Each structure stands twice: as C-alpha cells, then as structure tokens.
C-alpha cells in the first residue's frame, strides 16, 4: 500500500535536532563517525580490504555515501569495483574523513560526490588527490533552500526523487564510459535498465499521492530533505530546518511545525534514521499527529536491514508514509 489517504507528511527527514542519538532505529548514528568508522579502516579490516583489492584488478570507483554507491553499482555492473567512503547509517553532512579514507581515495581510479554542498568536507578531502573526480548532480534542475542559514543555496537531496536520480545515472554512465571505454555499451545498457526501474518507482509514488485529499498533501519534515520528492510527486513541503548542517530545532521552528500540523490536520509525522527523533516527538506531544515511523534519506541500512538498496529506500519511505497517513500506524492516537 504505497502512499494512500491523508498525506500530510511530517517527515522528520534528515535530522533530529538536538544532539541526542535517535533511539527509534538501531542504525541511527547521528554524527557518530570518527571513532567507529575510522577504526573500521584500520587493523584487521584494513588488511582484509587491502588483500581483496590486490585480488581484484577492476578499476576502483569511490563514492562519498552509500546511496550514491548503490546507484553507481547498478550502472557499473560487474566491470567496476564500487565502494562508499561512509558506512551504512552514517550522517553525510558533517562527516569527518579519516586517514584511512585518504588512503583509499589515493588508490581510487574515480571519485564521485553528490555535490550541491552536501559533503561539506569533500573539497578539502580531494584537494591533494590526483584521482579523477565527478559530481553526480551535474545538470540537475536544482531547488533552492528557502529558509535558514543555507537560504538561497541549492538543496542537495536530489536523489530523493526517482526522476531526478535519472540524472545521476546519466552522469555515471558518462563517467564510467570515459574511465573504461571497453565496456561503454554495457554501462549505457545498465543505465537505461536502471532508469526504467526509477520511473516505475516514481509512478507508484505519484499514484499513491493522487489518492490523498489535496489539502493533506503536505510533507512536514525535520530536515528539508524531501524537496525534490515533494516537487515531483505533487506535495507541499514543510520542515524544522533546511539541512542537517544546521541541526537547529529552535522553539520557534518547532512551534511553527506544531501550528502547521494542527491547522492542516496532519495525521502522522516521521523521523530520519540517522538522527534523533526528539524534536518531532515534541510535535507529536502537542498535536493529534502520531509518530509514523522511521524514514531513510542520507544512508542505506546494512545488508540485512530494511533499506539495503536505493530503490528499497524509496519504496520503504513511501510505504511508511502511506501506512501512517491512512491511519494504519500502530502508534495511532485514540
């Protein structure tokens, strides 16, 4: 049941304000990165990685985050080795690269980032590297952030719309064909097949939204990470803050969200997997809305989790939203 009935989505997408970790999801790792992820590239695991690379002659494509890596793998097929700098569950905006990340990047044949200021750390990260670099969002019809500290800059979360994600695919096809001309035809074929899947997911989403009353087609999020999805699916977007880099759920912003939820009778609100849901829980406590569940934006889950691929991430979010907005949430208020 993809998005059905009332769609005033209070998605607490990309960020739980405060600094608390999100207790709602085992993959929540708000800003948890330097220690655990840095250690993941040292010692025994680093040795295992080096051995695997030595045994794999394919060119290495290094992406900045897991969603981008999954899209790239679908284009690359069997011809390239694609890895992500960040691990499942990581928060991408304020990531702090480790020495191990730099070592991996120095051995990459191509480095791909999202661009649009998503990875605030990336420019310095690649400053002294010789590896070719591509921006996945080149040519995107960008949406400007409307408020907050980042007002007037491009919203970087274009991958949250399956339609916009097709531009990612086109850019990757071009980059991979230049990197490995021998398999250019395969990359083009893989890209076209994957774009067909993206269009199908988009159509599912739009069909679900069309079943909702127009007055309730509103996305109320914590971070403004759903601007592209909202635009392409026919939704109005509201949020507590524009990007995770701000991480400010001020009393004024929370109060504005509470007013919007009350006025438009939003039935459910949501929170993203990589952040605390505390700010949105304050909205829940002050309104008739329920907490609808965990959404994924900046990161995939582990392989055995709910969203191990990009397509599953989009479908998961749509299903969670639909279920909650149609009153089927287990947390529905009496």
Q: What is the pLDDT of residue 205?
A: 84
DSSP tag of 26: T
pLDDT in tens, 291-300: 888 889 999 9
Q: What is the pLDDT of residue 308?
A: 96
Phi, psi torsion values for 24, nearest 5 degrees? -80, -10
Contact 207, 162 (CB under 8 A): no
Residue numbers of the chain with a pLDDT score lower than 50: 1-48, 51, 328-331
Q: What is the pLDDT of residue 38?
A: 42
Q: What is the pLDDT of residue 29?
A: 41
Contacts of 138 (CB under 8 A, 6+ apart): 115, 167, 171
- pTM for this one? 0.80
The CATH class, in words, for 34-199 is alpha beta
Same fold, 8-30+202-325 and 34-199: yes
DSSP structure string for 154-220: BP--GGGSHHHHHHHHHHHHHHHHHH-GGGHHHHHHHHHHHHHHHHHHHHHHHHHHHTS-GGG-EEE
CATH architecture of the domain covering 8-30+202-325: 3-Layer(aba) Sandwich (3.40)
Residue 295 host element (H or E): strand 290-295
Q: What is the pLDDT of residue 206?
A: 86
Q: What is the pLDDT of residue 53?
A: 60
How is the chain split into domains, by residue range? Answer: 8-30+202-325, 34-199
Q: What is the pLDDT of residue 277?
A: 84
Query: How many CB atoms lie under 10 A from the CB of residue 127?
Result: 7
DSSP structure string for 97-131: --HHHHHHHHT-SEEEE--TTS-TTHHHHTTT--S
**Of 70, 64, 62, the residue nearest 110 (C-alpha):** 62
Q: What is the pLDDT of residue 105?
A: 93
Contact 105, 62 (CB under 8 A): yes
**How many residues are recorded in the chain?**
334
**Of 62, 28, 56, 1, the residue nearest 222 (C-alpha):** 28
**Of 333, 317, 312, 332, the residue nearest 70 (C-alpha):** 312
C-alpha–C-alpha distance, residues 62 and 59, integer Å: 10
């Amino acid at each position: 049941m993809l998005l059905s009935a009332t769609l005033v989505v209070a998605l607490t997408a990309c960020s739980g304000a405060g600094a608390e970790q999100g207790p709602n999801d085992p993959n929540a790792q708000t800003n948890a990165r330097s220690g655990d992820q840095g250690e993941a590239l040292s010692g025994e695991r680093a040795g295992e990685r080096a051995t695997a690379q030595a045994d794999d002659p394919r060119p290495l494509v290094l992406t900045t985050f897991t969603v981008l890596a999954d899209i790239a793998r679908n284009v690359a097929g069997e011809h390239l080795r694609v890895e992500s700098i960040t691990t499942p569950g990581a928060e991408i905006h304020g990531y702090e690269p480790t020495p191990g990340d730099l070592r991996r990047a120095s051995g990459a044949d191509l480095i791909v980032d999202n661009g649009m200021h998503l990875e605030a750390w990336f420019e310095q990260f690649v400053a002294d590297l010789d590896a070719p670099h591509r921006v996945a969002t080149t040519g995107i019809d960008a949406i400007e952030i409307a408020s907050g500290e980042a007002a007037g800059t491009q919203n970087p979360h274009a991958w949250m719309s399956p339609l916009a994600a097709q531009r990612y695919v086109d850019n990757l096809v071009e980059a991979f064909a230049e990197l490995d001309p021998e398999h250019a035809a395969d990359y083009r074929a893989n890209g076209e097949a994957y774009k067909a899947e993206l269009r199908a997911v988009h159509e599912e989403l739009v069909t679900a939204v069309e079943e909702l009353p127009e007055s309730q087609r509103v996305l109320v999020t914590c971070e403004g990470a759903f601007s592209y999805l909202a635009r392409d699916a026919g939704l109005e977007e509201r949020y507590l803050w524009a990007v995770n880099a701000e991480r400010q759920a001020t009393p004024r912003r929370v109060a504005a969200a509470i007013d919007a939820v009350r006025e438009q009778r939003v039935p459910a609100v949501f929170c993203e997997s990589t952040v605390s849901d505390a700010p949105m829980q304050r909205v829940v406590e002050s309104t008739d809305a329920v907490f609808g569940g965990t959404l994924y934006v900046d990161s995939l889950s582990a392989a055995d989790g709910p969203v191990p691929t990009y397509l599953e991430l989009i479908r998961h979010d749509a299903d969670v939203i639909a279920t909650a907005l149609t009153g089927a949430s287990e947390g529905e208020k009496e």
